[in-house]
Amino acid sequence: MQFQSKACCSRPPVVLAGGYNYTPKGTYTTYSGLKTYETGPKTSTRGILFIYDIFGLYIQTLRGADILSTGYPSPLPLDNSGTYRVFMPDFFSSHPADIANYPPKTPNQFSYITSFMTGPADPAKTLPLIPSLVAELKEKNPEIESWAILGFCWGGKIAALSSQEGSLFKASAQAHPSLLDTEDATKIVIPHVVLPSNDEVPEIMEEWVKELMKSSPKSYSETFTDQVHGWMTSRADFENQHNFEEYLRGYRIVRAFFDEHM
């Protein structure tokens, strides 16, 4: 049975005061017909396919990709051995979930969210795009020798389903997951890190992680008990120092995990 995080479809993203003064470090390229945010040194030999949350190319999410690529503001290595080339395809074609409907209060808003989650955000529509997308990424970036996948919220479902037998990736990760199905965890065969928030249902999450550790013993999980669903992407609150530090710590955990398994 699949469980969707309630917070995924109710909690609005964080709109930072003053529009937030951050200039993304990457550029946009087209891969497999998808506008893709690309960041990190072109000399990197490791690549990450980054699957955003339902709010798409949000500023906090773009900054997360930049952090993931180089580790900044963590100490950097002297060469490119600790860097990644990160690719974030715009699967929603610049039409992510409309923040005007969050939190939903009217029948039309609830209807909109249901339609979005069963339409553009239906994993069954995104998952078939992954093989051809990765093939083109590999063709156009031959210097990259190994690949990982990282997903957030509904994107975590894509990451989990892409981590099964015949996976194109050496490691995978997800944070504040939604659309959880324990059966997915039983089929994961590559090292996988999952970082739940305090909004995920503990009983469901515990069972999922239990099965994950059986199928992929090199995996890792840590619950961020005082963070909300989305704290590493569109719901990241940079104006709260502790929340910002936990945002950074989440990316450090993912990078350290990929460093170990790629």
CA separation for the pair 239, 19 (Å, rounded): 12
Place of tokens 């994950």: 212
Mean per-residue pLDDT, 111-124: 93
pLDDT exceeds cutoff 60 at 75:
no
More confident residue, 22 or 245: 245
pLDDT attached to residue 219: 98
pLDDT exceeds cutoff 50 at 79:
no
Q: pLDDT for 152-203, tens place per residue?
A: 999 999 999 999 999 999 999 999 998 999 999 999 999 999 999 999 989 9
Mean per-residue pLDDT, 233-243: 92
Please list the helix, strand and coil fractions of the chain in percent, rounded to the nearest 5, in that order. Answer: 40, 20, 45
What contacts 199, CB < 8 A, 6 or more positions away?
5, 6, 7, 11, 176, 228, 229
CA separation for the pair 139, 145 (Å, rounded): 11
Q: What are phi and psi of 81, to 5 degrees?
A: -65, -25
14 contacts 234 by C-beta, under 8 angstroms: yes
This prediction has a pTM of 0.93
Q: CATH number of the domain at 2-261, out of 1.10.3660.10, 3.30.2350.10, 3.50.50.60, 3.40.50.1820?
A: 3.40.50.1820
Q: Where are the domains of the chain?
A: 2-261
Give, for 124, the enclosing helix (H) or strand (E).
helix 123-126
